[in-house]
Amino acid sequence: MTIVLLSLIITSLAYLVVASPQPVELTARKAPRGHVAALRKRSLGPTNVPLADFFINTDLQWFGNISVGTPPQTISVVFDTGSFTLEFDSTECGAPCAGQVAFDPSKSSTFIQGNEVSELDFATGVGVDPVVDNDYVLTIRNGFDTVSVGGLTVKNQSLFTIINQTAPFDIDPFSGILGLSSITDPEFFFGGLIEEGLPALFGMLLTPKAVGHAELTLGGFDESKFIGPLTFAPLSAEADEQWALDSPGITVNGKTTPLLASNRSIIFDSGTSNIVFDQNTTEAMNALISPNIKPFPAEPGAFGIPCDKVSELKAEIDFAFIGEGSKVFHLNIPTSELNVGPFKSDPTICQTLINSFPDLELVGGSLLKHYYSVWDIGGQRMGFAPNGH
């Protein structure tokens, strides 16, 4: 599957409850309220879920395992703060999902199939390529089944099985997406944590593949994984049910422009690898890096530069955010993130970090993998500290 989900057509849903003291062995949308799955196993405390890294020229996705059904079937999912729902490949999908492990509903005695079929349209895709002509689309059917992560199990969990998907999903080494953006109604996704006496929050360590040991901590955060105190910031009033913070300005290589120095709300999306801004903001940032960064016509929304010029460039991008007590703090993307690899259609041109998409302002893994992040639903805030790698 994929990444960040910002555009959707959806029918019904309740959020997956996850927590466990056991690590998981390794191998997205708002919906009507109503169904909350029941906890069936007690958690002793926060759980660390190890994550694998999907890498092609750059770090693309971090994913780990859940289990679904009776008896349980192992399904790998991206833990995605840019989407809201749980969906994964079904054997009903057939050839379009042949590259991923598919859940077989006929082998689960607890699966209940729904009769609602809908489509999910994505604003960003599996990797760094922009979405072009709505080419990332999942066709899904609603259902219910037992779902587990580690040692905690929920029964009658609302979910969606993928019954068709477009070709760009073929490269995925994982089978689905678990949305972590239920930020305004913790009784859904994290209702189970609250019921267990754990805080409705999670921590993320999204490391580069060369470093490894990425993990998701549910019901708490891991103080051994970061340096110094966490800096917290309240969610933006304009978050619109996304993990977004207020930013008073962006600088590139120590410089800014009136446009970049304007106030904005920026989404944090663990399911997107690079960063995405509107055309004007993208061009303003690129202009402060190099005049040689140009739009790449074959992939509208992408930008590139001759690969032999990349090593000459400095591209330190600084985002200012409004923290608790109105104190400004900064998060940075280093120069090393600028080049995300050569374009397939022209290997002499290397794609650069920033994609453009109308009315979207978003930072993804290229920023998050340099920090430990805490996503606090109960406190309606986010926290950051250097992760030390």
Q: What are phi and psi of 198, to 5 degrees?
A: -100, 150
* For residue 35, pLDDT beyond 50: no
Confidence band, pLDDT 50/70/90 cuts, at residue 72? very high
Instruction: Convert the pLDDT of each residue in 41-50 to its tens digit.
Output: 444 678 888 9
Average pLDDT over residues 8-26: 30
| Residue 44 included in any domain | yes
Confidence band, pLDDT 50/70/90 cuts, at residue 19? very low
Confidence band, pLDDT 50/70/90 cuts, at residue 11? very low
| Residue 183 included in any domain | yes
How many folded domains does the chain comprise? Answer: 2
* 347 and 260 housed in the same domain: yes
* For residue 28, pLDDT beyond 50: no
Helix (H, G, I), strand (E, B) or coil at 115: strand
Instruction: Specify the residue for token string 């446009």.
Output: 259
* 270 and 228 housed in the same domain: yes
- Which one, of 126, 178, 136, lies nearest residue 8 by Cα? 136
* 205 and 322 housed in the same domain: no
Instruction: Convert the pLDDT of each residue in 244-278 to its tens digit.
Output: 999 999 999 999 999 999 999 999 999 999 999 99
| Residue 326 included in any domain | yes
CA distance 78 to 158: 18
Q: Looking at per-residue confidence, does 126 or 2 come out higher? A: 126
Q: Looking at per-residue confidence, does 147 or 389 come out higher? A: 147
Residue 18: the pLDDT is 33
Residue 123: the pLDDT is 64
Q: What is the pTM of this model?
A: 0.85
Q: Looking at per-residue confidence, does 179 or 72 come out higher? A: 72
The torsion region of residue 93 among left (phi > 0), alpha (psi -120 to 50) and beta comes to alpha
Helix (H, G, I), strand (E, B) or coil at 96: helix
Show the DSSP H helices in the chain as ranges: 191-195, 279-289, 365-368
Instruction: Convert the pLDDT of each residue in 298-341 to its tens digit.
Output: 888 999 999 999 998 999 999 999 999 999 999 999 999 999 99
Residue 172: the pLDDT is 87
Confidence band, pLDDT 50/70/90 cuts, at residue 22? very low
- CA 237 → CA 259, 264, 276, distances in Å? 21, 11, 20
| Residue 313 included in any domain | yes
Domain that holds residue 276: 223-386
Residue 342: the pLDDT is 94
| Residue 1 included in any domain | no
Residue 211: the pLDDT is 92
Average pLDDT, the chain: 83
Q: Looking at per-residue confidence, does 64 or 15 come out higher? A: 64
Residue 124: the pLDDT is 62
* 57 and 168 housed in the same domain: yes
* 311 and 295 housed in the same domain: yes
- Furthest-apart CA atoms within the chain: distance in Å: 60
> Which amino acids are annotated catalytic?
80, 269
CA distance 331 to 266: 12
Instruction: Specify the residue for token string 């899904």.
Output: 140
* 205 and 142 housed in the same domain: yes
* 209 and 272 housed in the same domain: no
* 23 and 139 housed in the same domain: yes
Q: Last residue of a domain, which of 218, 233, 261? A: 218
10 Å CB burial of residue 99 (0-12, 13-18, 19+) is middle
* 147 and 116 housed in the same domain: yes
Q: Last residue of a domain, which of 186, 218, 250? A: 218
| Residue 2 included in any domain | no
* For residue 30, pLDDT beyond 80: no
Query: Residue 107 maps to which CATH number?
Result: 2.40.70.10
* For residue 93, pLDDT beyond 60: yes
Residue 388: the pLDDT is 76
* 173 and 234 housed in the same domain: no
* For residue 386, pLDDT beyond 50: yes
* 342 and 285 housed in the same domain: yes
CA distance 304 to 374: 33
Residue 4: the pLDDT is 36
Q: Last residue of a domain, which of 202, 218, 234? A: 218
Contact predicate 272/122, CB 8 Å? no
* 44 and 190 housed in the same domain: yes
| Residue 158 included in any domain | yes
